Amino acid sequence: MPIFREKAEAIFSRAAFAGDLGIRFRDAGPGWCESVLEIKPKHLQQDGYVHAGVQATIADHTAGGGAGTLAAEGDLVLTVEFKINFLRPALGERLLCRASVLRQGKTLQVAESEVYAERDGIRKMVAKAMVTLALVPAASR
């Protein structure tokens, strides 16, 4: 589904902060998106785990990718709010994230994002987020 992938990918390639962090687009389809991040020392907090802010950023940004697949051409996709629970310390070689849209409205979307840490080939869910996003038509800006 090239058009969904294209829309989600644009949200990754155009966002300086996602790129600076090392969050890379992986795949997308109607209402979902996946991303990956190779864990580097710079991503850690004071106790050697991946910082909550890194996990929150990949969760939020991938939700934006998922919502973006359902947005009209030129719409802004903006995060209204999100909530994230950290389920276990995040350790390993990489983070993977999958976001799925739970509810598509005219102006609001609700998505959930699951963040996994992969360590020695074993994948564990380390965080889960619920994200509310607004679609702002290009025309109204």
30 binds its own copies (CB under 8 A): no
Q: From the list 53, 119, 123, 137, which residue makes contact with its own copies (rule: CB under 8 A)?
A: 53
Q: Which of residues 69-98 bind its own copies (CB under 8 A)?
A: 76, 78-89
For 101, phi then psi, to 5°, come to -80, 120
Give how far Cα 116 sits from Cα of 54, 77, 137, Å: 12, 24, 33
What does the alpha-carbon distance between residue 86 and residue 88 come to, in Å, rounded to a whole number?
A: 6
Give how far Cα 130 sits from Cα of 64, 85, 101, 105, Å: 12, 9, 10, 16
Nearest CB to its own copies, comparing residues 26 and 131: 131
What does the alpha-carbon distance between residue 32 and residue 98 come to, in Å, rounded to a whole number?
A: 7
Window of 1-9, 29-37, 91-99, 123-131 that interacts with its own copies by CB under 8 A: 123-131
CB 7, min distance to its own copies, A: 12
- The residues that touch its own copies, with contacts defined as CB under 8 A, are 10-11, 14-18, 20-21, 41-47, 51-54, 56-58, 60-61, 76, 78-89, 102-103, 107-108, 110, 112, 125, 128, 130, 132, 134
